[in-house]
Amino acid sequence: MPQLTEQPYSNQFNDIIGEPPGWIIRGGVLAVLLVWLVVFLISIALPVPEAAQSAIRIIPDTQAGLIINQEDSVRISLARISNHVRVKKGEDLFVLEGKNRRVIRSPKDGWVLFEQYNSPDSYLKKGDTIATIINPPAYYYGYTQIGADQGKSICKGDNVNISLFGYPPMEYGYIKGTVYEVLLKESGRVCYVQVRIPGSLVTTFHKNIPFNTVMTGQSNFIFKGKSIFQHLTQ
């Protein structure tokens, strides 16, 4: 039976499997350094999106006609129209009874919003605003305050999601707005932010919100924050 003899590998093959060529080592090191350089540059240049929340007060960009009670202790005995109804100038709105019985009429065309009237036989004090007549505005403006650290990062045109009190976002969605102006308060600790909102008041769930003279809610700002490198070095 023939015996198998071990054949020695060639010197060239031994060189290849024994020690990697220098160009492979240099290329590998260069690739690793290049990857780390790219990651470092991205961490410096790329800002991380951040969010901030604050309470917001929203008013329409329109001239309102106020109906103010001028007498002491009067009673609304009859309402001729309901809330959020379009009326014409001179149209009867409701009847007041105090010392004298008188009919209150609309001072202008627009939509009527009752403020003090809750039910028949409501009583009013002198100076109470009974109702407001407004026209649907082209825009609403929201006003809020936010800490200077985050406020300085907010820029004109940044997106704002607004959830209105009384309209849960899980059911109604959000009102979309954009940052219109940012002003740093004199103390340097707070920024005033003005937000512009379309007058249609249609939510992200495609639901219409009835307009009002004043609305409040929660604003959610989305803006470019600090870079990863800035976060790691602070």
Q: Which amino acid is at 75?
A: R
Give me the DSSP letters along 105-126.
E-SSSEEEEESS--STTEEE-T
Per-residue pLDDT tens, the chain, 234 aa: give them.
555 455 554 555 555 555 666 666 667 777 777 887 777 666 666 666 677 889 999 888 766 677 777 777 777 776 666 777 788 888 888 888 877 788 888 888 888 877 655 566 777 778 877 778 877 777 889 999 988 887 878 888 888 999 999 999 999 999 999 999 998 877 778 889 999 998 778 999 999 887 777 789 999 987 665 555 555 566
Cite the beta strand spans of the chain per DSSP E: 47-60, 65-68, 74-79, 85-87, 92-97, 101-105, 110-114, 122-124, 129-134, 139-147, 159-164, 175-184, 190-198, 215-227
Nearest to 55 by CA among 168, 224, 175, 215: 215
Nearest to 57 by CA among 213, 189, 201: 213
